[in-house]
Chain A
């Protein structure tokens, strides 16, 4: 019988709706970050770097790209004879199937997968965050405290603590109260969505809770219930780089931070490498008239134009005369001659036409979705074609194959959507 000390379950089924058009066809964990990476690369790499070789990835929303990216786990060394990575989509049971209706519900549906490995502990992760963390150190803490559950926490500024799940702890680190997005937070210790459970305790809780709550959730049900029933629930303090990149603005800022001369997040660490699935490890070519400053540029890019303060994914082509500033351009996008891109996010496999200008004009929040697009960043979804000689404002949302006639007088005013 298999016997793994700890296996990981990675919740990767969420849409990440606050990332707007970026997650229209791509699950949030598969969204590219830092040039060549996808968000899920961070927890997956952390797993293998922490010595965890069995990872179940729970997918649900738009799983195509995610499943293809993970494959059999070769880039993360997770192609194993026992264990390794397993993609776990929702499935049909008997005559009826059901979607994963909550974070704990998703794990509940996969109890059989977990039992297959007979683990003592289980690590629950989400595919939404960018950080480097040694889960084995957290497990040591969990064992030392003889915990039933250990929750990784990070200090956040008190004034934004109301956006997080806040843990109130006593002096020995035991969690005495958990408040989801409290109006008046009593502490600034935010849950990072990283949990270690002793498996038999969690299994029992999952079975019990799924009888009560249809949308069984860790933050809403499992954790508060464990605290209430006097289980040993401890906080594990983490005080290194960690970013929740759930909004367009946070996503853009976290990328921009990487372009700083000495970035807060070190991707150059030889002993904690972040791995990703990239087909070919091509070099990149910088042409005769190119200007490249304060930027990250990935494999296989060809740069003939000007790039300032930007992050470029693999195989991006920037033609001569094109100017890109303060922007994120994802893989296999082409920015044609004379195009000007200012403060925008362009997803994968896009085509930006000649002399088109993006990110100009007034900073008007999006007319229908101000909660998504309001900080001046224009966002372009994957596989989008934008014709030449059009002018596009700020806080715009564009997706699909757009034609010149879709732009009124060749313009898309700030705060407008154009999704085909």
Chain B
């Protein structure tokens, strides 16, 4: 095998409010049946990268539960595996990771014990499909030290990204993290290919200098010393940035393009098996342009919505432009509009939960209305 994978699942964003109160970003529910990290895990597995470390800082419980058995992504083999590393498990003194590079440095044994020539570093909160084998080939072809997967967003509104300048050969000439006045439209997607030995060397150097960040202390600091190349990715790519983006990503699954990309293209995106029965549509059910999942029982009207597993919708209820997560129960005669209902929310008969396109209403996990 040519590479090992590292998924940085550290993130927690205040912009996602109560959704990430008890949940790692990488465990955010996507498209009816998936968690965000399924995309990173499946991309790695489908690219032949079968030894993967998931490094997580916060709220690892939901993540640990999801990836507890590695078999769903075909990792649980004799020479492969899926490992979850959290600060708590490895630090005696109990401090967390001080940055992205530090989080890998603290698990440097994982790198040292491997013998694959390359490391693919990615993150757990991005929704896309990519064959890393192509990126590794490109990396070899360019004889690069580091290859950054990047995307031309074709807009200068990229203040929230690491903005990258590339020459004609796609060699990186400039990199600015969250620039105030962006000069380029191409952004780093935070995915890297690097040789394992170089990564170990860089991490050890960084640690000695008390530096902890991949972006600031490797990419920016070494931009002139190392041959860093950009691999331009130009397909569907979304990152869970905030509630609106999370809502939009889920709604994207109502478009045929996104469904075909993730559902009907080989190899598929895998997720943990849940063994729910088929969805049931009763006599009064009326469902239009929606994603429905296993174990759902529908008695009401569903329009332009994404329902995760085991959702119950009572008679006479209207669910419109909403995201309903696993195990939510919505009683009779309710109206749910422009809302996100987290897992196991209970809406009693006749209640109304109505948001607007600009202000999506969010109901916390196990909330009772």
* A281-B294, A283-B293, A286-B292 given; A34·B278 CB < 8 A: yes
| Residues of B contacting A280 in the complex (Cβ-Cβ under 8 angstroms) | 268-270
Interface segment, B125-133, B234-242, B279-287?
A: B279-287
A390 at interface, CB cutoff 8 A: no
Decide if B289 is an interface residue (CB 8 Å cutoff). Answer: yes
A300 touching B288 by the CB < 8 A rule?
A: no
List residues of A whose CB falls within 8 A of some B CB.
Answer: 34-36, 74-75, 259, 261, 267-268, 273-276, 278-300, 307, 311-312
Annotate B267-308 by CB proximity to A: 1 below 8 A, 0 otherwise.
Answer: 011110111011111111111111111110110001000100
Further pairs besides A287-B288, A298-B294: 7, Cβ < 8 Å: A268-B297, A283-B291, A283-B306, A284-B292, A287-B289, A295-B281, A297-B281
Contacts of B329 in A (CB 8 A): none
Chain A residue with the shortest CB-CB distance to B274: A281
A285-B275 contact, Cβ under 8 Å, with A294-B283, A296-B280: no
B322 at interface by CB-CB < 8 Å: no
B265 to chain A, nearest CB (A): 12
B241 → chain A closest CB, angstroms: 23
* Chain B nearest Cβ from A373, distance in angstroms: 26
Q: Which of B238-259 contact A (CB under 8 A)?
A: 253-254, 259
Looking at the complex, which one of B277, B286, B290 makes contact with A34 (CB distance below 8 Å)?
B277
Contact in complex: B279, A297 (CB < 8 Å): yes
Task: Say which residue of A75, A283, A298, A312 sits within 8 Å of B32 (CB atoms).
Answer: A283
Residues of chain A within 8 A (CB-CB) of B271 are: 281
Of B31, B281, B286, B291, the most chain A CB neighbours within 10 A belong to B281
Sample 21 A-B pairs with CB under 8 A, ordered by A number. Answer: A75-B275, A261-B282, A261-B283, A267-B278, A268-B297, A279-B268, A281-B33, A282-B263, A283-B31, A283-B292, A284-B293, A285-B291, A286-B289, A286-B292, A288-B289, A291-B286, A294-B281, A296-B278, A299-B278, A300-B263, A307-B281
Using Cβ atoms and an 8 Å threshold, which residues of chain A touch B270? 280
A282 nearest CB neighbor, chain B only: B263
Q: How far is the CA of A230 from the CA of B283 in the complex (A)?
A: 55
Least CB distance, B23 to chain A, in whole angstroms: 20
A267 to B, closest residue via Cβ: B277
In the assembly, what is the distance between CA of A268 and CA of B311, in Å?
12
Contact, CB under 8 Å: A285 / B277 = no
Whether the Cβ atoms of A284 and B283 lie closer than 8 Å is no
Distance in Å: Cβ of B155 to nearest Cβ of chain A: 30
Contacts of A286 in B (CB 8 A): 287-292, 302
Q: Is B88 an interface residue (CB 8 A)?
A: no
User: Do A293 and B281 touch (CB < 8 A)?
Assistant: yes
| Complex-state Cα separation, A256 to B31, whole angstroms | 30
Q: With A and B bound together, what is the CA distance between A196 and B278 in angstroms?
A: 32
A88 to chain B, nearest CB (A): 24
Inter-subunit contact B277/A36 (CB<8 Å): yes
Known interface pairs A273-B275, A282-B33, A283-B33; A292-B291 also in contact (CB < 8 Å): no
- Of all chain A residues, the one with the shortest Cβ separation from B292 is A284
Q: Which residues of B contact A74 (CB under 8 A)?
A: 71
> In the docked arrangement, what's the CA distance between A306 and B354, Å?
30
Q: Complex formed: what's the CA distance from A279 to B270 in Å?
A: 9
Distance, CA A268 to CA B31, complexed state (A):
22
User: Which of under 10, 10 to 19, 20 to 34, or 35 or more describes the interface residues of B?
Assistant: 35 or more
CA–CA, A259 and B298, complex, Å: 12
Given A284-B293, A285-B259, A36–B288 Cβ distance below 8 Å?
Answer: no
Residue contact B273 to A281, C-beta cutoff 8 Å: yes
Of the candidates B254, B269, B270, B283, the one having the most CB atoms from chain A within 10 angstroms of its own CB is B283
Whether B294 lies near A299 (C-beta < 8 A) is yes
Bound form: Cα–Cα A74–B275 in Å? 12
Cα of A286 to Cα of B286 in the assembled complex, Å = 10
* Distance of A180 from chain B, by nearest CB (Å): 35
B275 and A290 contacting across the interface, CB-CB below 8 Å: no
Cα separation A295 to B279 with both chains bound (whole Å):
8
Check A276 against B275 for contact (C-beta < 8 Å): yes
CA distance A282 to B33 in the complex (A): 6
Instruction: Specify which chain A residues have a CB less than 8 angstroms from the CB of B278 in the assembled complex.
Output: 34-36, 267, 296-299, 311-312
Chain B, Cβ-Cβ closest to A262: B282
Residue of A nearest to B280 (CB): A296
Q: How far, in angstroms, from A60 to B253 measured CA to CA in the complex?
A: 43
B291 adjacent to A284 (CB under 8 Å): yes
In the bound complex, CA of A279 to CA of B271 (Å)? 10
B281 x A274 contact (CB < 8 A): no
B291-333 to A contact mask, C-beta < 8 Å, 1/0: 1111101100010001000000000000000000000000000
Min distance, Cβ A124 to any Cβ of chain B, angstroms: 26
* B263 surroundings in chain A (CB, below 8 A): 282-283, 300
- Contact call B279/A296, Cβ cutoff below 8 A: yes
What is the chain B residue whose CB lies nearest that of A295?
Answer: B281
| Minimum CB–CB distance for B65 against chain A, Å | 16
> How far does the alpha carbon of A291 sit from the alpha carbon of B281 in the complex, in Å?
10
- The interface residues of chain B lying within 8 Å CB-to-CB of A36 are 277-278, 294
Q: Let me know if A268 and B277 touch, CB within 8 A.
A: yes
Q: How far is the CB of B21 from chain A (nearest CB, A)?
A: 25
Docked Cα-Cα span, A285 to B304, in Å, equals 10
State A311–B281 Cα separation when bound (angstroms): 10
Cβ-defined contact, A275 with B294, below 8 A: no
Q: Would B275 and A292 count as touching, CB distance under 8 A? A: no
Min distance, Cβ B285 to any Cβ of chain A, angstroms: 6
B64 to chain A, nearest CB (A): 19
Determine the distance from Cα of A283 to Cα of B287 in the docked complex, in whole angstroms.
Answer: 14
How far, in whole Å, are A300 and B285 apart by their CA atoms in the complex?
19
| Chain B residues whose CB sits within 8 angstroms of the CB of A259 once the complex forms | 280
Given A75, A274, A282, A289, which contacts B277 in the complex, CB threshold below 8 Å?
Answer: A274
Q: Which B residue's beta carbon lies closest to that of A313? A: B278
User: Nearest residue in A to B31 (C-beta to C-beta)?
Assistant: A283
How far does the alpha carbon of A361 sit from the alpha carbon of B33 in the complex, in Å?
Answer: 42
A259-B297 Cα distance, complex, nearest whole Å: 11
| CB-CB contacts below 8 Å: B32-50 with A | 32-33
A17 vs B298: C-alpha distance when bound (angstroms)? 37
Closest CB in chain A relative to B298 CB, distance in Å: 8
Q: Whole-angstrom distance between the alpha carbons of A273 and B276 in the complex? A: 8
Min C-beta distance of A173 to chain B, whole Å: 34
- CB contacts (< 8 Å) of A294 on chain B: these are 281-283
